[in-house]
Amino acid sequence: MVRYTFFMDATPSYSLNDFVTETSERDNPGHDFELESTKMLEINLNGRVWTKLGSMIAYRGSVKFIREGMLEGGIGKAFMKALSGEVTPLTKVEGTGKVYVADAGKDISVLRLENTSINVSGNDLLAFQDSVKYSVTMHKKVSGMLSGGLFSVRLEGSGLVAITTHGRPLTLRVTPQDPVMTDPNSTVAWSANLSPELKTDITMKALLGRGGGETFQMMFQGDGFVVVQPFEESPVVANTSS
């Protein structure tokens, strides 16, 4: 006779001391942006950085948080913020200490810009150093057909940038001979020299609700790359409140 033993919960348990040891912060001196885990970023602050509004989960030291003002960066940038419904609300973080940030349990990747630039979807920008300059970009070839338009943040210069994705990101190479089409709600970032256009697949079946659900795609042509995530994120909707 064969006997079977079933375990309702195979999750290992921890003593309190083991749990504290397993989950304690991992200190790497000299790292300005340090991943405590795949979903949590430690910022070693000595001056100023920029973070996504609401992303702070803890901090220590003498730290001040200031929401970005509408006129920050001049009238032109203020116009783009108003037009986009402030697609990427940012916080200036100033002082000396350690700041821990995260965004809805999303995975975090840290990029180092070296006199270069990148476009990042407003939903997916977590933090960047003050040495990196930014601007809000409206993609005219796409905006007219997507609710609220399509806006991204252009980051340029030298410094560290943290972006977030639902799951492990995939970077696809774009060449003049081999363009790449992506779902707008799964598109995270792309090289700054690429300017996406909208590719439509509107058929009678799509209009009747019987299509494949992929009516709009972003088309990237040229020489560069595009980063996608295995998730369709809700698009940023412009703030229409008075």
Number of domains in the chain: 1
Q: Tokens 């060449």 map to which residue?
A: 175
Residue 65 belongs to domain spanning: 29-228
> The domain that contains 78 carries what CATH number?
3.60.160.10
Structure confidence at residue 14 as a pLDDT band (50, 70, 90): low
Taking the C-alpha atoms of residue 46 and residue 136, their distance in angstroms, rounded to an integer, is 26
Assess if residue 203 is contained within a domain.
Answer: yes
Assess if residue 82 is contained within a domain.
Answer: yes
Whether the predicted pLDDT of 126 surpasses 60 = yes
Assess if residue 11 is contained within a domain.
Answer: no
Q: What is the pLDDT of residue 215?
A: 67
C-beta neighbour count of 140 within 10 angstroms: 11
Least confident of 79-83, 134-138, 195-199: 79-83
Taking the C-alpha atoms of residue 21 and residue 98, their distance in angstroms, rounded to an integer, is 19
Does pTM top 0.85 for this prediction?
A: no
Asked if residue 134 lies in contact with residue 74, where contact means CB atoms within 8 angstroms, the answer is no
Residue 67 tokens read as 């929401």
Assess if residue 36 is contained within a domain.
Answer: yes
* pLDDT (tens digit per residue) in 34-48: 999 999 999 999 999
Which are the contacts of 124, defined by CB distance < 8 A and separation ≥ 6?
106, 163, 164, 165, 188, 189, 229, 233
Give one word for 27, left, alpha or beta, with left for phi > 0 and alpha for psi -120 to 50.
Answer: beta
On average, the pLDDT of the chain sits at 78
Assess if residue 8 is contained within a domain.
Answer: no
Q: What is the pLDDT of residue 151?
A: 74
Q: What would the 3-class secondary structure string for the chain be?
A: CCCCCCCCCCCCCCCHHHHHHHHCCCCCCCCCEEEEECCEEEEEEEEEEEEECCCEEEEEEEEEEEECCCCCCCHHHHHHHHHCCCCCCEEEEEEEEEEEECCCCCEEEEEEEEEEEEEEEHHHEEEEECCEEEEEEECHHHHCCCCCCCEEEEEEEEEEEEEEECCCCEEEEEECCECEEECHHHEEEEECCCCCEEEECCCHHHHCCCCCCCCEEEEECCCEEEEECCCCCCCCCCCCCC
Per-residue burial over 163-176, b if 16 or more Cβ lie within 10 Å, else e, is bbbbeebeeeebee
Assess if residue 235 is contained within a domain.
Answer: no
Assess if residue 89 is contained within a domain.
Answer: yes
* pLDDT (tens digit per residue) in 195-204: 888 877 655 4
